[in-house]
Structure 1
């Protein structure tokens, strides 16, 4: 698949590389600014990090009664 895309890009190898880098940069920016903020409220994290309170399983000791 990647070879097929690479063969269809115009220009020499350095032009193709610049096109691929630009497309990757634009795709990353779109993901970071549009997709990830839209998905964030829909993803549920239950690790105690989102609410700021530690979860019961995040204690530093595995034995009960030891601080």
Structure 2
């Protein structure tokens, strides 16, 4: 999988690394912006506490 992705990317090694970093940051940003809040709406809040005080 990673070898196939590496071969598909254009340019020299330094450009491929920059492209991969930009793609990684974009995926993480999309997850935190849209995916995680959407999934959070389906998770039931249980209000768990630790200890009996």
TM class, shorter-chain normalised? 0.7 to 0.9
Per the alignment, residue 14 of structure 1 pairs with 14
State TM-score, norm by structure 1. Answer: 0.68
**Deviation at 1:46?**
3.0
Higher RCO (CA-CA < 8 Å; seq separation 6+): 2
**What RMSD over aligned residues (CA atoms) do the two structures have, in Å?**
1.7
SS in 2 for 1:42: coil
Structure number with the higher helix fraction is 2
State TM-score, norm by structure 2. Answer: 0.84
Mapped to 2, the partners of 1:36 and 1:15 lie a distance apart of 30
How many residues of Structure 1 are paired with residues of Structure 2 in the alignment? 53
Q: Specify every segment of 5 or more residues in structure 1 that has no aligned partner in the other structure, as ranges.
A: 49-53, 61-66
